Amino acid sequence: MESEYIYHVTTLKEWEQAKLNNEYLPLNYEQDGFIHCSIERQISGVLDRFYEGQKGLVKLKIEKSKVQRPVLFELAHDMNELFPHIYGSLNIDSVVEVITLS
């Protein structure tokens, strides 16, 4: 069964700004065209690959049913695994928990 939650890693600074804007768009959104997310078991690999040594990180726990934009599970070819992607800005009220990572 597919989980009702997906996760996104960002900086506390970006998240604080998102709360002021009442929506979240990561800095690399324009380049990527979507918000990179993960299911829970994928988080440690994402942290190892993309965030090693970074400080001030948080993990957003997102309730998928509350996301107001399309959420598509797409293949990351370099990992041969499906990852959830959000196509559009993330509405703040879909984030049910913010977990400090570093």
pTM: 0.93
Could you tell me the CATH number of the domain that includes residue 51?
3.20.170.20
Full residue range of the structural domain in which residue 19 is found: 5-100
Q: Structurally, how many domains does the chain consist of?
A: 1
Spell out the residues 6+ positions from residue 3 whose beta carbon is closer than 8 angstroms to its own: 39, 40, 64
Q: pLDDT at position 1, please?
A: 46
Q: pLDDT tens, 28-66?
A: 899 999 999 999 999 999 999 999 999 999 999 999 999
